[in-house]
Amino acid sequence: MISAIKEIKTRYLILIILGVWATLAIIFKGVATLELATYQDTLVTQTANDAAASIRGNRTQSTAFVYFFNPIRTVISGFVELIRMFIAIPAPNSIIPVLGWLGVIGVVAFFVFLTSNLKTTILAVSLLFGCGLLGMWTDSMDTLAMTLAAVILSLSIGIPLGIWAGLSDRVLKVLTPFLDLAQILPTLVYLAPLALFFLIGTASATIATMVYSIPLSIRITSHAIRSLNNSPIEASISMGATGKQTLTKVQLPMSKQMIVLGINQTVMAALSFVVIAALIASPGLGGPIINALTIRNVGDGFVAGLAVVFLAIMLDRSTSAAAKTKQTFIPPSKKEIQQRRISIAGMGIFAIVCIWLSRNVLWAAIWPKQLDVSEIVASYTNTATDWTTDNLRFITVSFKDFISNYVLNSIQTLLADSPWFITISMIALIAYVLGGRRVTLLAIGLMLLIVACGLWYETMVTLTQTLVATMLTMILGVVLGVWIGRSEKADKILRPFLDAGQTLPAFVYLVPILGLFGPSRFTAIVTGIVYSIPVVVKIVGEGIKGVSTTMIEAATAAGSNAWQLITKVQLPAAKKSLLLATNQGLIFVLAVVVIGGFVGSGGLGYLVIVGGSKPELQGKGLVAGFSILLLGVMIDRIAHASARKYGN
């Protein structure tokens, strides 16, 4: 009862604050907005630009570079190039890689079969073959090589740290802030600083990918160790086992499935980032997608994006199959063991034959051009896009204009077009109502830092798009989440689409969305919705499923209809899940909305992108990345504080 009264008071207070804010925004619209032209610098951006120029000029002389950054770049680049030589680029004294396309298919078939089954193997081989049919074999192998290199390095760091954090509360406490920070940082933020210190290319792309994927490995491994049943561990210790023996003989074997799941998630995160890392000259499928976005060629972008989809599904199914291996207390029979060994031997022979052919026969080494259907697929895609644009324009353009004119512009008037001190005051008041004094002081400090950076207006433009995208995401996410929470059939229908949305890099669906809506702020918003909707729907759905059956039966017995059951029982009971979904939706949306700088959304994302391509704007790009970090921390802290205050 007290909680409900508190929530009602909160709503009225926020409405009053918004009303006062709207009045002031109308009166003082366009005053003290701190808007800057793209090439106009502030003291902070000029200082950052000078620092970047100094770093570029002293790269071969500075002790830090000679003995630290440059050796790291050399080692990582060498490791990546070694993997690329096997499957993507010509080996020394050769015109082909160590493994031609048929050899790669044979090796993949063998290892997938070794860890899963024939069905998954056929799927993996078919998807790899599809990459070749799309004319993207070399780019796909580059992406695969970059992913493998990043995953190997990420797991070599992430799993040991995860085990350590799983065994030590102190280590987990130290690592948690860094893991949280890595989660809320949009991907674009990593790229510019890493390119500055490690140059553009495979090394900086690999390190950026590692920063993105290592936290997942650490978190899941730590969770795997900490969630084990204590009985076997206590039994092991009571029998005199050392800590090392308990870890290697009991804890790690028991947590094997969860650790394999961590490997799966690390692989998918790495693939997602490797595509984006094309912004700093990472080889692979990201390059064709960025080129297609630049020239607005939906067909070419769709072809490259489809190849990414094929790789994503192949890697996801191949690695998750091992994690889903059924645990059974019934040992396999001798006949089953023999059949399995014969099957593995047969697949090994198949792989050896494929490798031999790829080393000795030209058609098995280099993908035949006769099997390239990329131009046909691109042509049909462009035709379909043109038809959709011409015939559904009354829907797409009308909806885009409505959201842009009546929602986006209204919120942007509050945030960006109001005097900066009024916006800070109003956001601080909202933060106080939602989270209390501590988070309010933090929010004020972060906003003043953004003002000091000189990119206040651009930050508010980005915040506007983030809030609108999150609002639309939550509306759609709650509807779909309630649906899958109440219906197993709906869950089965939507689950494949939700899984696909979580595994695909944002660049992949940015291309078709650009074709539908053209370059605009709305395109960035739709991309943010598509990227964030899976996690929101899943969290809401789990919350609805977790509502007590007793509560539902009591409401039904009292005569409640479906609508009353949802609005009066299930949604209020799933309040914690709704707050968590909102928090995650905000973070996921922010991570992708900034990529909208590619498609005319403006804001901080645009400055980061142009800063990466124009040396004279590199300082501004770096400061824009820092401003995104400040904005992300502010959003995350306010959302967390609100969840703690009203989630009970």
Question: pLDDT digit string (tens) for 358-398?
Answer: 999 999 999 999 999 999 999 999 998 888 888 887 788 88
Considering just the CA atoms, what is the radius of gyration of the chain in Å? Answer: 26
Checking if the pLDDT of 6 tops 70, the result is: no
Q: Which residue range is the domain that position 559 belongs to?
A: 2-50+392-646
Give the Cα separation of 26 and 295 in Å (integer).
39
Task: Give the Å distances, CA to CA, from 506 to 156, 242, 305, 612.
Answer: 27, 47, 10, 19
Out of 2-11, 309-318, 415-424, give the one with best mean pLDDT: 415-424
Length in residues, the chain: 648
In a domain, 73, yes or no: no
Checking if the pLDDT of 282 tops 80, the result is: yes
pLDDT of residue 462: 94
pLDDT of residue 431: 94
Sign of CA dihedral 493, 499, 501, 502: positive
Domain identity same for 374 and 404: no
Domain identity same for 330 and 432: no
In a domain, 373, yes or no: yes
b/e for 586-618, b at 16 or more Cβ within 10 A?
bbbbbbbbbbbbbbebbbbbbbbbbbbeeeebb
Give the Cα separation of 55 and 70 in Å (integer).
13
The C-alpha torsion from 213 through 215 and 218 to 223, rounded to 10°, is -110
Q: Which of 384, 408, 423 is the last residue of a domain?
A: 384
**Mean pLDDT calculated for residue range 592-615:** 83
Structurally, the chain folds into a number of domains equal to: 2
Q: What is the mean pLDDT of the chain?
A: 88
Q: Which of 326, 356, 384 is the last residue of a domain?
A: 384
In a domain, 72, yes or no: no
Domain identity same for 481 and 609: yes
Concatenating the DSSP letter of every residue in 380-426 gives: HHHHHHHHHHHHSHHHHHHHHHHIIIIIIHHHHHHHTSS-HHHHHHH
Domain identity same for 462 and 573: yes
Domain identity same for 314 and 412: no
In a domain, 76, yes or no: no
**Mean pLDDT calculated for residue range 459-477:** 94
Domain identity same for 170 and 204: yes
Residues 38/617, Cβ–Cβ less than 8 Å: yes
Helices 374-391, 298-323: inter-axial angle, 10-degree rounding: 110
Residues 138/369, Cβ–Cβ less than 8 Å: no
Choose between 333 and 69: higher pLDDT. Answer: 69
Residues 186/590, Cβ–Cβ less than 8 Å: yes
The model's pTM: 0.86
Domain identity same for 358 and 286: yes
Confidence class of residue 1 from pLDDT cuts 50, 70 and 90?
A: very low
Domain identity same for 370 and 494: no
Token duo for residue 149: 């290199």
Domain identity same for 292 and 419: no
pLDDT of residue 398: 87
Checking if the pLDDT of 324 tops 70, the result is: no
Domain identity same for 496 and 554: yes
In a domain, 74, yes or no: no
Domain identity same for 159 and 306: yes
Give the Cα separation of 552 and 554 in Å (integer).
5
Give the Cα separation of 498 and 542 in Å (integer).
14
In a domain, 167, yes or no: yes
In a domain, 61, yes or no: no
Checking if the pLDDT of 28 tops 90, the result is: yes
Task: Give the Å distances, CA to CA, from 100 to 33, 90, 97, 615.
Answer: 58, 10, 6, 39
pLDDT in tens, 519-561: 888 999 998 899 899 989 988 998 898 888 888 888 888 888 8
Q: Which of 384, 409, 443 is the last residue of a domain?
A: 384
Confidence class of residue 2 from pLDDT cuts 50, 70 and 90?
A: very low
CATH number, domain of 453, equals 1.10.3720.10
Domain identity same for 369 and 451: no
Q: Which range among 101-110, 333-342, 495-504 shows the weakest confidence by mean pLDDT?
A: 495-504
Checking if the pLDDT of 457 tops 70, the result is: yes
In a domain, 476, yes or no: yes
